């Protein structure tokens, strides 16, 4: 059947219908596009003013929502412009903190790669735009940061925080992009291509904050308490405005004796200039901090312009007697504990609050009163050690570096890491020592120069604690004479585990070192045996061997009167590097199985021996 003929007057009507159809189609596309974009636009939350640890200034807003990530194994992201605003294609939701290679334990996973992160947020109220800063607690290894498509800065090195000015920040919604390169390089600590002592976890490993600085912004707070109750207070204050401001402040101290307040008038600070806080206060009837009784105070510096900075405060004094024994509040130490790594099987080094709490619980369950790690820990862990009375041996990651490497850029980087660790952590009463190297390889004038430079730096920033080096002590290893300028030496010893050495050789070797360094404190900071299976006590790698070996080690160490402490290696099994064997005849790379607990937190049979021995030795003894 044919269609009826169209009249000439129908043409305008048909054109009108076509225009309406196109308009409706176009409108529908706009609506669909708007709906597709709406989740991103509406999902830009205002971060809460919330920090995961108390130490530091107020005005920290936690950026823990809306993160996504995209792998960049071929390194094309910069060229393709992934840093530009709105380039969300290929990004998938993740939680930050985040370790992108936590579950990849092959060689490619250890070598790591490039990973991109992005999130959107709405700027909280208050503060002028130039006063806001971005704060990253730890990124491994190299970070490049963009805000609203504008590059705001870069940083290299994990475990310590860095801040960048939030240039390009806007009222309303903002987009933050971070490019993380986790690959090893020769300028890293530890440097490639040396073997690495723990898994190379890449990513944003600790939390990110948007920090609002005040008109006066306080930094580098330094509290130096004496057991008499006298406290020296020092800090630097920056005027972030274009006018002079009075430097009036109040130091508030709360603790076992209640609250005390100390108002101070400090002159004025010019526009954009730095001012200094320097005052001394007297706390009435101070209670001393120790593992047996961790009496803890809190200091708050309240600036007249409004900013409040909080820090822990503990009255304790670290000294040495004529024989080199380390004293806490005049009492010789006899510490027992275990080292640890911030690492879990599923999350790598991106620990949760629950993961950190588990570390503290496990230390307490074996009666530990001291612990140690190869790099600065999360600040929340130090706060937990302050409360629990667990002494911390803090170390920077100068791990098994050759003496000849400790010059030039690598020395500058090591000293900068040391400075960052001391400034961040010197107010924690639990911190006893600054370890500037672990098992350095070789010695000579270059290493001697590094030790002298570190000594001078620590003496300027924090002369109240011990300057130490952890040194391997296997038979035949010589400890250089210039270690006499140290306050203490941490001795790594595996007598009876590696090679043909025997535990019976341990005490004579310790006696020889004590005779050479009579005024230097001595600790054993590593000893242990791998255990990943059942079997007889005479077979290395079995739970029974680890149990027997540890009991024999502690029997020798417990009877050494000049030894100030012994720290087993280690609290919990962890991933080291591909091919790791660790002296275990039936190794299961890449895991180090010298832990008292398994990776998943189950106690091994050795845990009962360790607890029995540790509890029997008091933290301090009569002089």
Asked if the peptide bond before residue 609 counts as cis, ω within 30 degrees of 0, the response is no
Calpha distance 140→162 (Å, rounded): 12
What does DSSP assign to residue 348? B
- Which residue, 250, 273, 306, sits at the end of a domain? 306
| SS3 category, 435 | strand
Residue 475: its pLDDT value, please?
A: 56
Calpha distance 116→125 (Å, rounded): 28
* Residue 24 forms part of a structural domain: no
Residue 198: its pLDDT value, please?
A: 98
Mean pLDDT, rounded, for 402-421 = 95
Tokens at residue 357, please?
Answer: 């709490």
State the CATH number of the domain containing residue 124.
Answer: 2.60.120.260
Nearest to 431 by CA among 454, 460, 450, 458: 458
Instruction: Please count the helices (runs of H) and the strands (runs of E) in the chain.
Output: 10, 36
* Measured CA angle at 9 (ends 5, 11), to 5 deg: 80
Residue 476: its pLDDT value, please?
A: 57
Whats the size of the chain, residue-wise? 623
Calpha distance 506→532 (Å, rounded): 25
* Residue 22 forms part of a structural domain: no
Calpha distance 589→573 (Å, rounded): 12
* Residue 46 forms part of a structural domain: no
Calpha distance 524→499 (Å, rounded): 19
Give the CA distances from residue 254 to residues 69, 451, 504, in Å, rounded to whole numbers and listed in that order.
43, 38, 50
Calpha distance 490→566 (Å, rounded): 9
Residue 201: its pLDDT value, please?
A: 98
Helix %, strand %, coil % of the chain (to 5): 25, 35, 45
Q: Are 263 and 337 in a shared domain?
A: no
Mean pLDDT, rounded, for 539-564 = 97
- Which residue, 238, 271, 306, sits at the end of a domain? 306
* Residue 407 forms part of a structural domain: yes
Q: How does strand 274-282 pair with strand 230-239?
A: antiparallel
> In the predicted model, is pLDDT for residue 447 greater than 80?
yes
* Residue 49 forms part of a structural domain: no
What does DSSP assign to residue 586? T
Q: Are 302 and 373 in a shared domain?
A: no
Q: Are 228 and 83 in a shared domain?
A: no
Residue 8: its pLDDT value, please?
A: 40
Residue 623: its pLDDT value, please?
A: 80
* Measured CA angle at 85 (ends 80, 90), to 5 deg: 55
Q: Are 406 and 455 in a shared domain?
A: yes
* Distance between first and last Cα of the chain: 117
Q: Are 184 and 241 in a shared domain?
A: no
Q: Are 96 and 180 in a shared domain?
A: yes
What does DSSP assign to residue 495? T
Mean pLDDT, rounded, for 239-245 = 96
> Whole-number mean pLDDT of the chain?
93
* Residue 325 CB neighbour total at 10 angstroms: 21
Q: Taking a C-beta distance cutoff of 8 angstroms, is the pair 41, 33 a contact?
A: no
Residue 41: its pLDDT value, please?
A: 44
The total domain count for the chain is: 3
Q: Are 220 and 207 in a shared domain?
A: no
Nearest to 384 by CA among 345, 358, 404, 409: 358
Phi, psi (degrees; rounded to nearest 5) at 86: 80, 0
Q: Are 415 and 430 in a shared domain?
A: yes
State the CATH number of the domain containing residue 256.
Answer: 2.60.40.10
Phi, psi (degrees; rounded to nearest 5) at 17: -65, -40
Calpha distance 336→472 (Å, rounded): 19
Residue 42: its pLDDT value, please?
A: 55
Calpha distance 407→304 (Å, rounded): 44
Q: Taking a C-beta distance cutoff of 8 angstroms, is the pair 223, 299 a contact?
A: yes
Q: pLDDT tens, 284-334?
A: 999 999 999 999 999 999 999 999 999 999 999 999 998 899 999 999 999
> In the predicted model, is pLDDT for residue 477 greater than 90?
no
State the CATH number of the domain containing residue 391.
Answer: 3.20.20.80
Nearest to 202 by CA among 185, 214, 226, 220: 185
Calpha distance 267→364 (Å, rounded): 47
* Residue 66 forms part of a structural domain: yes
Q: Are 242 and 390 in a shared domain?
A: no
* Residue 311 forms part of a structural domain: no
Q: Are 148 and 239 in a shared domain?
A: no
* Residue 598 forms part of a structural domain: yes
Residue 586: its pLDDT value, please?
A: 97
* Measured CA angle at 161 (ends 415, 307), to 5 deg: 115
Q: Taking a C-beta distance cutoff of 8 angstroms, is the pair 139, 205 a contact?
A: yes
Domain range for residue 326?
A: 319-616
Q: pLDDT tens, 597-611?
A: 999 999 999 999 999
Q: Are 106 and 178 in a shared domain?
A: yes
Q: Are 148 and 242 in a shared domain?
A: no
Taking each helix axis from N to C terminus, what angle separates 543-558 and 506-516, rounded to the nearest 10 degrees? Answer: 40
Q: Taking a C-beta distance cutoff of 8 angstroms, is the pair 547, 596 a contact?
A: no
Q: How does strand 541-542 pair with strand 308-313?
A: unpaired
- Which residue, 211, 238, 264, sits at the end of a domain? 211
């Amino acid at each position: 059947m044919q269609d009826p003929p169209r009249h000439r007057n129908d043409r305008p009507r048909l054109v009108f219908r076509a225009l309406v159809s196109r308009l409706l189609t176009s409108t529908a596309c706009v609506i669909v596009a708007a709906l597709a974009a709406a989740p991103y636009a509406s999902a830009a939350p205002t971060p809460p003013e919330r920090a995961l640890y108390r130490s530091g200034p107020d005005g920290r807003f936690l950026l823990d929502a809306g993160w996504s990530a995209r792998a960049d194994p071929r390194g094309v992201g910069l060229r393709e412009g992934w840093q530009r605003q709105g380039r969300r294609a290929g990004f998938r939701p993740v939680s930050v903190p985040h370790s992108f290679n936590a579950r990849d334990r092959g060689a490619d996973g250890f070598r790591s790669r490039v990973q991109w992160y992005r999130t959107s947020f709405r700027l909280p109220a208050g503060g002028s735009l130039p006063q806001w800063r971005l704060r990253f607690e730890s990124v491994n290894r190299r970070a490049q940061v963009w805000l609203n498509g504008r590059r705001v800065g870069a940083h290299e090195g994990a475990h310590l925080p860095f801040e960048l000015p939030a240039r390009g920040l806007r009222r309303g919604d903002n987009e933050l992009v971070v490019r993380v390169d986790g690959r090893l390089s020769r300028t890293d600590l530890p440097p490639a291509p040396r073997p690495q002592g723990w898994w190379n976890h890449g990513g944003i490993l600790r939390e990110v904050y948007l920090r609002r600085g005040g008109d006066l912004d306080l930094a580098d707070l330094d509290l130096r308490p004496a057991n008499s109750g006298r406290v020296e207070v020092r800090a630097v204050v920056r005027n972030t405005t274009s006018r002079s401001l009075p430097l009036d402040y109040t130091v508030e101290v709360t603790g076992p004796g209640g609250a005390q307040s100390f108002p101070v008038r400090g002159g004025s600070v010019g526009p954009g200039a730095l001012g200094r806080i320097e005052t001394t206060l007297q706390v009435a009837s101070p209670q001393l901090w120790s593992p047996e009784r961790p009496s803890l105070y809190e200091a708050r510096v309240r600036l007249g312009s409004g900013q409040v900075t909080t820090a822990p405060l503990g009255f304790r004094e670290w000294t040495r007697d004529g024989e080199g024994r380390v004293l806490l509040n005049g009492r010789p130490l006899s510490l027992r504990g275990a080292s640890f790594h911030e690492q879990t099987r599923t999350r790598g080094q991106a620990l949760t609050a629950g993961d950190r709490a588990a570390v503290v619980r496990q230390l307490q369950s074996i009666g530990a009163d001291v612990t140690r790690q190869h790099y600065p820990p999360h600040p929340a862990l130090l706060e937990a050690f302050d409360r629990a009375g667990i002494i911390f041996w803090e170390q920077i990651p100068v791990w098994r570096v050759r003496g000849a490497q400790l010059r030039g850029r690598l020395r500058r980087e090591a000293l900068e890491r040391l400075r960052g660790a001391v400034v961040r952590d010197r107010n924690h009463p639990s911190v006893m020592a600054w370890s500037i190297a672990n098992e350095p390889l070789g010695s000579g004038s270059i290493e001697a120069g590094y030790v002298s430079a570190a000594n001078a730096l620590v003496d300027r920033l924090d002369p109240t604690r011990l300057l130490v080096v952890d040194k391997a002590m296997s038979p035949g290893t010589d400890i250089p004479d210039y270690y006499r300028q140290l306050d203490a030496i941490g001795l790594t010893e595996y007598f009876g585990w590696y090679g043909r050495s025997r535990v019976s050789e341990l005490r004579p070797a310790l006696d020889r070192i004590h005779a050479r360094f009579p005024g230097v404190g001595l600790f054993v900071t590593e000893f242990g045996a791998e255990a990943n299976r059942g079997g007889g006590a005479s077979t290395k790698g079995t739970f029974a061997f680890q149990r027997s070996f540890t009991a024999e080690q502690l029997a020798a160490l417990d009877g050494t009167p000049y030894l100030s402490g012994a720290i087993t290696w280690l609290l919990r099994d962890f991933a080291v590097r591909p091919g790791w064997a660790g002296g275990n005849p039936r190794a299961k790379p890449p895991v180090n199985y010298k832990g008292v607990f398994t990776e998943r937190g189950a106690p091994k049979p050795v845990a009962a021996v360790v607890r029995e021995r540790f509890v029997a030795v008091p933290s301090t003894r009569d002089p």
